[in-house]
């Protein structure tokens, strides 16, 4: 039944996207080109509504009576309404943060939260009163992280699809049928939308789509990896390494430059790769490759010994740092690791 519903969601997204495109144009949910944007023409936004509707169809088919279904629907309705209004009127950051807070709060009040973290050698760290704020921070953070990488045709929806596929595979090995099936119908919905969004895009998924995908992915990660051995949230963090690291270094970049955290710029990962001379399609495929590599690392991490897991964590952190320094994600002068390597080489030559 899961695979049949996957196909239904895929076909629903394929059929609904042209209708949503017409609706977006009619109500003025369009994206105008400017100095920060890559596209040069007016583009309809709000394509994420097609993903959402296809997803809801799948949820009602597979899990109409699940205790998680109603909170997911209520929370996602808040996210979708906020996204649609943002795509139409460009809401202020404060309004969006408040809306995201209440959407996350719906999930927490339903009983979904990070109550403890599994530690090595059978240890458990209970979070107690930190449980709720950390869960809220996780949901709101991932919701916005997907939004921040939505800067090129097909980028955010493609990266999200890789993340969702990885969560589906890992949850299947864990025997978590709910997370597997919800991931499957979400994947069907995103893949049905992708042909319209890949370069040259006919429609953007807009904040409606990026916020929705980030929101659902954050909740699926909580549901799927609460009891994974070692560190409970390390697996989803590795899976989401691209959007999380891009968001983290965007914050660092704005702090270093003394700019507001909500101020937009053209220094995200995809912008940096474009400045290196890659085309839009090449940049998107490169970031797909990075996401796939981190997904593989997460799979290996979930099946590794303690030593192997630590090696994977160090390797992932090293790769992220090298990419950050190589493309200038913080600034052109931020290269501590590469500069140290050059100094070592110079010392070796002198000797």
Residue set of the binding site for Mg(2+): 147, 207
Which two three-digit tokens encode residue 185?
A: 């119908």
Annotated binding site: 147, 207
Find the angle CA(303)-CA(306)-CA(307) to the nearest 5 degrees. Answer: 110
Contacts of 277 (CB under 8 A, 6+ apart): none
**Would you say the C-alpha torsion 51, 57, 62, 64 has a positive or negative sign?**
positive
Closest C-alpha to 276, from 318, 319, 237, 332: 332
Rounded Cα distance between 17 and 54, Å, is 10
Burial degree of 345 (CB within 10 A; 0-12, 13-18, 19+):
exposed
Find out whether the peptide bond into 119 is cis, omega within 30 degrees of 0. Answer: no
- Residue 124's φ and ψ, nearest 5 degrees, are -135, 130
Burial degree of 22 (CB within 10 A; 0-12, 13-18, 19+):
exposed
Rounded Cα distance between 176 and 262, Å, is 37
Please state, as a whole number, how many other Cβ atoms lie within 10 Å of the Cβ of residue 115.
Answer: 17
Q: Which residues pair with 44 in a beta bridge?
A: 30
* Residue-wise burial string across 128-147, b where 16 or more C-beta atoms lie within 10 A, e elsewhere: eeeebebbbebbbbbbbbbb
């Amino acid at each position: 039944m899961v695979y049949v519903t996957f196909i239904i969601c895929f076909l629903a997204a394929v059929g609904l996207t042209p209708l949503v495109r017409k609706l977006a144009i009619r109500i003025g949910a369009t994206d105008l080109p400017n100095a920060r944007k890559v596209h040069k023409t007016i583009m309809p936004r709000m394509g994420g509504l097609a993903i959402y509707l296809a997803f809801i169809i799948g949820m009602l088919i597979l899990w109409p009576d699940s205790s998680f279904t109603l909170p997911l629907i209520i929370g996602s309705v808040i996210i979708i309404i906020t996204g649609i209004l943002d795509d139409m009127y460009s809401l202020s950051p404060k309004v969006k943060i408040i809306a995201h807070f209440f959407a996350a709060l719906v999930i927490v009040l339903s009983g979904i939260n990070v109550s403890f973290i599994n530690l090595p050698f059978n240890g458990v760290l209970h979070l107690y009163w930190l449980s709720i704020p950390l869960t809220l921070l996780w949901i709101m953070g991932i919701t916005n992280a997907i939004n921040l990488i939505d800067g090129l045709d097909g980028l955010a929806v493609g990266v999200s699809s890789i993340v969702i596929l990885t969560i589906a595979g890992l949850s299947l090995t864990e025997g978590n049928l709910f997370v597997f099936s919800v991931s499957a119908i979400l994947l069907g919905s995103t893949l049905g939308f992708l042909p319209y969004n890949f370069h040259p895009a006919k429609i953007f998924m807009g904040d409606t789509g990026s916020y929705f995908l980030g929101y659902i992915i954050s909740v699926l990660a909580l549901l799927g990896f609460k009891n994974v051995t070692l560190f409970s949230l390390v697996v989803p963090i590795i899976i989401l390494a691209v959007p999380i690291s891009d968001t983290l270094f965007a914050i660092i970049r704005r702090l270093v430059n003394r700019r507001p955290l909500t101020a937009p710029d053209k220094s995200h990962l995809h912008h940096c790769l474009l400045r290196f001379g890659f085309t839009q399609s090449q940049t998107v495929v490169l970031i797909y490759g990075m996401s796939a590599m981190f997904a593989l690392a997460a799979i290996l991490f979930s099946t590794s010994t303690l030593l192997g897991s630590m090696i994977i964590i160090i390797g992932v952190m090293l790769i992220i740092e090298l990419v950050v320094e190589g493309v200038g994600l913080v600034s052109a002068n931020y290269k501590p690791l590469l500069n140290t390597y050059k100094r070592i080489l110079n010392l070796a030559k002198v000797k």
